[in-house]
A and B are shown apart, each in its own frame.
Chain A
Amino acid sequence: MEPPRWHTNVLIPCPWCGDREEVEFRYGGPVPAGYPPDPQTVDDRAWARYLYYRPNPKGALEERWVHTAGCRRWFRLTRDTVTHEITPASDASA
């Protein structure tokens, strides 16, 4: 008998290692607005926004995680902050 197929979204989907338990990962927070190419040209308000403001939606949130106890790669996923349902990113970019 062919072994049963096992795919699920109940674990964290590392794009390099597959689904693993959350304890292997470190949370990297919501994907921030990009680091300004030249921070020195950014005014105080915009810089404070980069430093301290994070989205906090009820629903889908794009996040970064790092597989600390595995391949050490950073990657993105989308997590529903209500149901914790996780949707893997379409590619493995960090």
Chain B
Amino acid sequence: MSRLPQGGRIDRSRPLRFSFNGTSYSGYAGDTLASALLANDVRVVGRSVVYGRPRGIFTAGIEEPNALVQIGPEPMLRATQVELVDGLQAAGLNGKGRAVPEQDAARFDKTYVHCEVLVIGGGRAGLTAALEAGRSGDRVILVDEQAELGGRLLTAGWNDWLTSTITQLSSMPEVRLLTRATAFGLYDQKLALVAERRPNGQRLWQVRGRKIVIATGAHERPLVFANNDRPGIMLAGAVRTYINRYGVAPGQRAVIFTSNDSTKPLEADLQRAGISLEAIIDVRTGQAIVDTVAESGVALESVIVVPLTGNHNRREIQCNLLCVSGGFNPALHLFSQAQGRLRYDDGLACFVPEAPIDGVEVIGAASGDLNGRGQGTIVPSWVIPGDGEDWSTHFIDLERDATVADVQQALGTGMRSVEHVKRFTTIGTGSDQGKTAGINESAIIATQLGQPVGAVGVTTYRPPYVPIPFALLAGRNRRELFEPIRVTPLHTWHVAHGAVFENAGQWKRPRYYPREDEDTDAAVARECRAARENVAAVDVSTLGKIDIQGPDALEFLNRIYTNAFDTLKERSCRYALMCGADGMVFDDGVVMHLGPDHWLATTTTGGAAAVLDWMEEWLQTEWPDLRVHLTSVTDQWAAIAVVGPRSRNVVHSLFPNLSVGPDSFPFLAIRENEIRDMPVRLHRITFSGELAYELWTPSWYGLSLWEAVMVAGEPLGITPYGLGAMEILRAEKGYIIIGQDTDGTVTPQDLGIDWMISKRKPFIGQRSHRRVDTTRTDRKHLVGLLPLDGDALLAEGSQLVLQSDRTSRYSVGHVTSSYRSPTLGRTFALALLQSGRERIGSTIYAPLDGQVVAASVVEPIFYDKENARRDS
């Protein structure tokens, strides 16, 4: 055991059991997995990713490149960051973690907060800043990645100051202290993302601060020499942390290898811990370690020391702990993410902020104030030659197993940019994002090229600062909570009657209602036949509905839609089309004239929100003089279409006092009536081509109305139908679905519905209909297709070509809708086809999956061209 008899911030009254690679060990509350492993003399934690070299614990913090472990479903955790808990089971990695198929039981949450000051980092600088801000009464949030506040002070014996400061901060009502909380991203407009580790998961904090204070400290960097990766080689500051904070001696015989003054206090720490200090190798005195030895092939056993100049007398020093310090890198990842620029400081031998950025302050060691670290005079020794010309064990990036030899190879190919070298060597692309490697990489490139380090620069820091589970970013927005689910007032009936549902945007809509033993095609065919031959009903409540009121409503509609509404009488409606300013079809629906200055427009189910935004845009930006009010009433109305040659019988039995004859209630008329106290508005509109009535009622009556329709229709055998049948019925009539048969490049003329375009008034998009492009004769037109083999089903999306063999080089269109029609007894399709109307009567080919389906081009209407059924 290497646990010291006393000292440290661990709680020796609370021993904890844990296992590593299947072996049981014990530690204490307050340990990290790393400190507990060192206390149990576990020196090798894993193997490196490329060369399989044994690796140990290299740091005591978030920058750890070596000691990666798997704990349950978490594949790559840093042993230096894992708090020890009783029963912990961890396994070292051979380079990579393992994805676990089981569901992660951890819970991930999100929270959003605002504050005047967000302080990132709870060391001396951060705590001081938080205290100052807190005294002004500002809302302050201080986040720190560790379990305890204090940062470096936890190692340096500042206990009284820490206790007093934290007590003061805790007493301030507007100050919130978050531990185990890593700020991993700093985005535009001072939005910080913070991952807080919690006992059973993590919480994502999205913090908007008026001011951000970056007090993230500095990371010690290693020296680069031959075989600098063996277990037992550790950053000097980490050795101090293990001794002082965790009461652990990470070795028995130590050598210090340094380029600066920060290792001075370590000498006393080693002595107090009973670790013999065999030698101090300081590059500033002209000595260096040129190699390390591990006879057993595993952990460090000795180091080879030579003078840097003069005679090359080798000296071998036995040791099992090598404490290395190559200086410090201010942790400026977040500053860089916020577009802060860096400058290389020759005196400090590190990158520091070049200029402040608005609202983001960098303080303490992060700002380049390395006095607290005691760096003092530094002679940077970026790369220390070995005995020979071999640079393949001079590790720069321990996690990626990338060496000086790799950098030399990159430069040898002609690469010069640090970004290119990064991608070639993979330095800095590991899960540690090269926290101990990046600056060394830049400096070694500079050394090799004979350039100043500042000219080489550093690679761009990108979020996240630490690995973040995707599950944290998703939070609770998974599965049924991924997106809102919208259901109609009739939904419970659909569920009770076995509907198979389909997603239409956020809506759940019945696709069909299978009876026993029926497959999809059989059920859909039965529902189609019911609508064509008898009577059927469909829930169309998902249609977007916009209530339009005001003295200028008519003028507004005339401008928005291609149709003119001047002649549309009250209690009537009209199929209506709207275009974008570019003249392309944008949405369609039915415009209903309900009363004086009162209209209602339906939209496609998917287009409801966009159409309302569009109308508001024109109303508010271009036509603020129009007195019109728009209100979304999509959810306020339930809508039921009663469809089929016998629909009139059902409607008559529901509304016995309503005159439903073809002359008294003709196509496109609106009537109001009621069933008991249930108000119902009836519309003679159809999306099937059959005689049909659309029945609307306030949504809370919706289910009652549907049940009344079912009861009234039962003697006739009324059939509920879903989207499957609805799509076939409409396609047989050539009625388009916006977004399926159109795609934003289609004009009304392309669709052959010029009759919907008024020539008597201006409307949005009108000017575009006489642009050179929209008047081309070879535009794609909507056409019908009948496969020559009436059993062959064209795939929707199939490209169309002019020749049946493989000589066609260009697609001349594509299939937009394709179905088996029970009514026609064959397959049919709609398509957008270049010069399509001129090709009617010809044959076109759809090659797909090694087969070619031939089809006749026909007019895009397959059933009741005279509209006799619709108007009956």
Contact = CB atoms under 8 A, between A and B. Distances in A.
Interface in B208-247: 208, 210
A44 to B, nearest CB: 6
Contacts of A8: 208, 210
B624 A48 contact: no
A21 B358 CA distance: 20
B796 interface: no
A47 B768 contact: yes
B620 interface: yes
Contacts of B762: 38-40
Contacts of B663: none
B581 interface: yes
A39 B766 contact: yes
A72 B789 CA distance: 52
B622 interface: yes
A94 B114 CA distance: 28
Contacts of B616: 66, 72-74
B762 to A, nearest CB: 7
B772 interface: yes
A26 to B, nearest CB: 6
Contacts of A64: 617, 621
B189 A42 contact: no
B139 A4 contact: yes
B189 A84 contact: yes
Interface string A33-52: 01100111010100110110
B613 A42 contact: no
B609 interface: yes
B165 to A, nearest CB: 21
Interface in B570-584: 581-582
A28 interface: yes
A18 to B, nearest CB: 12
Contacts of B624: 93-94
Given A10-B210, A40-B766, A51 B137 contact: no
Contact of A47 (B138, B188, B767): B767
B581 A51 contact: yes
Contacts, number: 70
Given A68-B613, A74-B620, A94-B624, A1 B137 contact: yes
Contacts of A83: 339, 358
A4 B188 CA distance: 23
Interface in A67-84: 68, 72-74, 83-84
Chain B residues touching A, majority SS: mixed
Interface in A1-21: 1-2, 4, 6, 8-11, 21
B189 A39 contact: no
B190 interface: yes
Interface in B549-601: 581-582
Contact of B609 (A34, A40, A42, A68): A68
Contacts of B339: 83
Nearest to B138: A4
A8 B139 CA distance: 14
A5 B191 CA distance: 19
Nearest to B136: A4
Contact of B617 (A42, A48, A66): A66
B766 A11 contact: no
Interface in B105-137: 112, 114, 116, 137
A29 to B, nearest CB: 10
Given A10-B210, A28-B617, A72-B616, A42 B767 contact: yes
Contacts of B314: none
A90 B188 CA distance: 23
B11 to A, nearest CB: 38
A34 to B, nearest CB: 8
B621 A51 contact: no
A1 B137 CA distance: 8
A5 B220 CA distance: 40
Nearest to A76: B621
Contacts of B620: 73-74, 94
B630 to A, nearest CB: 8
Contacts of B189: 9-11, 84, 86
Contacts of A85: 358
Contacts of B772: 44
B771 interface: yes
**Which of B174, B189, B771 neighbours the largest number of chain A CB atoms within 10 Å of its CB?**
B189
A4 B116 contact: yes
Nearest to B112: A21
Interface in B264-282: none
A21 B189 CA distance: 11
A51 B613 contact: no
Contacts of A66: 613, 616-617
Given A4-B138, A6-B114, A26-B613, A35 B622 contact: yes
B621 A94 contact: yes
A28 B617 CA distance: 9
B768 A51 contact: yes
Interface in B487-537: none
Contacts of A74: 616-617, 620-621
A35 B137 CA distance: 50
Contacts of B358: 83, 85
Interface in B427-478: none
Contacts of B137: 1-2, 4
B217 to A, nearest CB: 26
Contacts of B112: 21
Contacts of A72: 612-613, 616
A20 B842 CA distance: 58
Nearest to B582: A51
**Which of A8, A44, A48 neighbours the largest number of chain B CB atoms within 10 Å of its CB?**
A8
Given A66-B616, A94-B621, A48 B771 contact: yes
Nearest to B208: A10
Nearest to B174: A4
A68 B609 CA distance: 9
B763 to A, nearest CB: 10
A9 B188 CA distance: 11
A40 B759 CA distance: 12
Nearest to B359: A10
Interface in B613-628: 613, 616-617, 620-622, 624
Contacts of A35: 581, 622
A21 B190 CA distance: 12
A27 to B, nearest CB: 11
A12 B139 CA distance: 21
Nearest to A68: B613
A68 B613 CA distance: 7
Contact of B191 (A10, A38, A51, A94): A10
Given A8-B208, A84-B189, 4 more contacts: A64-B617, A68-B613, A83-B339, A84-B188
23 contacts: A4-B116, A4-B139, A4-B174, A6-B114, A6-B210, A8-B208, A9-B189, A10-B189, A10-B190, A38-B762, A39-B762, A39-B766, A44-B771, A44-B772, A51-B581, A64-B617, A68-B613, A72-B612, A72-B613, A72-B616, A73-B620, A86-B189, A94-B621
Shortest 3 CB-CB contacts between residues of A and residues of B = A39-B767, A10-B189, A94-B620
